[in-house]
Structure 1
């Protein structure tokens, strides 16, 4: 019986050894699988993290560019408003020029034109007292062409010459607007350097 007990004990020991080996092999397999899955999860997490960082950098760059453009637009609008106010104030100042200076300006402008025949002289409503009939008669005495009084131009200062649709515009607002179109960039550069 002892021999049987020894055989049973050897079988039990061998079974225990095999069970321990199987257990250890299974633990190793599970650990390797766990480590592989953990590494895969970490790599996936790292890729997503890097992708998100790139997205955030791009978003930051776009927002920064958008903010810069917005700030530049606000500054530009402010500068344009200042220029517009300057040009509008210039029109008002031209309307306040003393009569003698407005007469001189108009005479020089009319004398510089190479015209002939009869031209309609329309006066801005704000200049009717300055370019009156007496002044018009004086100009007709010295100019090589004739001026005929036309209709008043509502809300304007200065004058306009017209003959069959050909016009010479000396309305102060038009003169300043023309100057504004041509020179506003140079004015802005000088003012806002």
Structure 2
């Protein structure tokens, strides 16, 4: 009987040992799975951080670019306002010319047309008092054959010359508008550089 007991004890020991081995294997497998899961989780976390960082970097660059564009547009808008003020001031100063300054300008323009047979001078309503028939007869006719029209151009400063069916516009608002396109670049450089 003691052999039977010994045999049973050995079988029980073997079974215990097998069970313990299986438990140890399961524990080792569990540890390995946990380690792999932790590693996978760490890798996924690192990927997500990189993804978030790249998104944030892109967003930052987009925001920075948007700010630069807005700043440039605001600066251009301010420059445009200043240029408008400069050209409006130029027109305002021309509108305030004395009779003598207006006549000097008119005479300089008439000299450019001295080879013409006949010119009709139509004065703007706001400039009509700056030129008289007397001045035309004494000064302007020495340069060119010019006739002062009885017509005026409503609410305008400056004048129009008519010769051979062609009108030459020297109304101050139009002169400033025409020259503005040519001078914007150089005036901008003088003002803003």
TM-score (norm 2): 0.89
* Maintained 8 Å contact 2:118/2:163: yes
Q: Deviations over 1:12-69 (max 9, x none)?
A: 1111111110011011112212222221222122112112211111110111111011
Q: Deviations over 1:140-169 (max 9, x none)?
A: 632434335163222221111134652322
Q: Does 1:123 align with 2:123?
A: yes
* Maintained 8 Å contact 2:107/2:140: no
Q: Does 1:47 align with 2:47?
A: yes
Q: What's the counterpart of residue 111 of structure 1?
A: 111
The alignment's C-alpha RMSD in Å is: 2.0
Task: Identify if the C-alpha distance between structure 1 residues 33 and 164 changes in structure 2 by more than 3 Å, giving closer, same or farther.
Answer: farther
TM-score (norm 1): 0.89
Q: Unaligned 5+ residue runs, structure 1? A: none
Size of the aligned set, in residue pairs, is: 193
Q: Unaligned 5+ residue runs, structure 2? A: none
DSSP-derived class of the 1:156 partner: coil
* Maintained 8 Å contact 1:124/1:155: yes
Pairwise CA distance, 1:80: 1.2
Q: What's the counterpart of residue 56 of structure 1?
A: 56
Q: What's the counterpart of residue 28 of structure 2?
A: 28
Please list, as runs of the form range in 1=range in 2, the aligned pairs for 1:35-184 lying within 5 A after superposition.
35-138=35-138, 141-149=141-149, 151-163=151-163, 166-184=166-184
